[in-house]
Structure 1
Amino acid sequence: MIECPSCGRRQEPSLICVDCGSPLAAPLDCFAALGLSRKLTIDLDELERRYHELSRMIHPDRFASKGPKVRDASVRATATLTRSYRTLRDPVARGLYWLELNGEKLGENNKRVPPEVAELVFEVQEQIAEMQLSTDPEAAHELATQIAARRIQLQFTMDESLAELERHFAKWDQPADKKMLILELKTILSNIAYLRTLIRDVDRALDNSKAA
């Protein structure tokens, strides 16, 4: 239970007092903060609507003339709401948060590069290293061209992985083996993490080659 700093009402933790509408500095998970059920599939338009509506209701400007406890609750509630919105809006952040809610972490039993992207990672990193060490401008330019083409392929693979993540989210809405779903979620998120790192390295290498 939590006590409203404005009217003193004792109530279940929530973002806003059920009696007076004042903000509450309650410890809430991301779904509860936005009044959503715990489901990985989310209507993003509805998520945004709820976020903006709640933001207006608890914004610190509305409570600037209130006592310090109410002002503090407003700041804390706003921070909770913003963090929750950003987490749930991003599918990857949502997936990582879902693991956290289930007592899991992406790094646990998931140390190696996923087999699906291991070969791609090796090939691209080898090309980058060769380009960076090349003393022949023409050869370096040719390698940069090849890496730029591979960058397009990497983005396509990333888009496919993100689409796979969304399809995976829907599986949690049906009865299934939870351990299997967690393992699958970890695999998809790991693929995305490695692809993001690789794309970042490719972009940095290409930027450096242009500056050289």
Structure 2
Amino acid sequence: MLSLNYTRIVRSARALLHPHWLLTKPESVCKAVTCSARCITTSSPLKDTWHSSRSLKALGKGRSYHSNLLLRYYSTGQVELNCWKCKQPLDQSPAFFCMSCKVVQPPEEGTSYFKIMDCDCTFTLDTQKLQKRYLQLQRSLHPDNFSHKSVKEQEYSETHSALVNKAYRTLLKPLSRGLYMLELKGMSIEEGTDSGADPEFLMELMEINEALHGARTSEQANKIGKDAKGKLADLTKEIDAALLKGELQAAKALLAQMKYYANIEEKVKEKLSELM
């Protein structure tokens, strides 16, 4: 009976980690698997690391015996993270500081930006929460706070601070956030290629650019900017829906369109500066 139960648990865990399951139901992954640990990089599902024992225990809450077996399955081959100075176990992931000696820790390789910023792995994340988290982390990790510490602590704080800045900038805007979500799933939008774009869409863009180039008043430029902003709002809803359904190719095509309209928005700003 023990062997049978263990086999069932292992099979269930393997099914849970299957890459096709991740691609078809990404929203289930974030809710069912990474609820406690937030979002874990999904580009290589079979290589995901589970550093937080608290998150693992949550998977088997209320099922003491079976949860122990499940914990051992997920922990196979994993090394418990300890503080580099006092050697005490780190009970959080990512662990910015040791809870025992309060010393700053080295960044954990491969940790997703969503996890660093303590945000849900979703295209429509709470940007106010993101900003609050950013300010909190920078207050505690800024290199100025470690000017009188050891060289190692100074290096770790500088690395953390730069990583937090990059994570914040990436997740703040919808376009970079969406591209990063596709990147986590092993997809990317190639730079400088229009081969996959719809000819009608490209013609529409050409007309918009010509109209912007020929704009002679700020009112004309603002109108183009307002239209572009409205299109970006529509694309945001469409991309969110595609990602929730696991339709990655559709999300990729929509993000490519968003990229063009975001570029038009920037050109409108430049045009307004010229007209002032």
Fold equivalence (TM over 0.5)? yes
TM-score by length of 2: 0.57
Q: Is residue 2:225 matched to residue 1:145?
A: no
Please report how far the alpha carbon of residue 50 of structure 1 lies from its aligned counterpart in structure 2 after TM superposition.
Answer: 1.1
Please report how far the alpha carbon of residue 105 of structure 1 lies from its aligned counterpart in structure 2 after TM superposition.
Answer: 0.7
Change (3 A) 1:16 1:41: same
Q: Which residue of 2 aligns with 1:162?
A: 232
Please report how far the alpha carbon of residue 88 of structure 1 lies from its aligned counterpart in structure 2 after TM superposition.
Answer: 0.8
* Superposition map of 1:14-163 within 5 A: 14-19=94-99, 20-26=101-107, 27=109, 28-107=111-190, 111-115=195-199, 117-125=201-209, 143-145=214-216, 149=220, 151-163=221-233
Is the contact made by 1:96 and 1:105 (CA closer than 8 Å) also made in structure 2? yes
Unaligned runs of 5+ in 1: 132-142
**Distance (whole Å) between structure 1 residues aligned to residue 143 and residue 218 of structure 2:** 49
* Residue identity matched to 1:25: P
Where 2:188 maps in the other structure, the secondary structure is coil
> CA RMSD of the aligned region, Å?
3.3
Change (3 A) 1:88 1:10: same
**Distance (whole Å) between structure 2 residues aligned to residue 189 and residue 44 of structure 1:** 19
> How many aligned residue pairs are there?
192
Change (3 A) 1:99 1:78: same
**Among the aligned pairs, what percent are the same residue?**
24
Please report how far the alpha carbon of residue 148 of structure 1 lies from its aligned counterpart in structure 2 after TM superposition.
Answer: 6.7
**Distance (whole Å) between structure 2 residues aligned to residue 164 and residue 154 of structure 1:** 16
Is the contact made by 2:242 and 2:250 (CA closer than 8 Å) also made in structure 1? no
Is the contact made by 2:97 and 2:105 (CA closer than 8 Å) also made in structure 1? yes
TM-score by length of 1: 0.71
Unaligned runs of 5+ in 2: 1-78
Change (3 A) 1:4 1:161: farther
Change (3 A) 1:32 1:205: closer
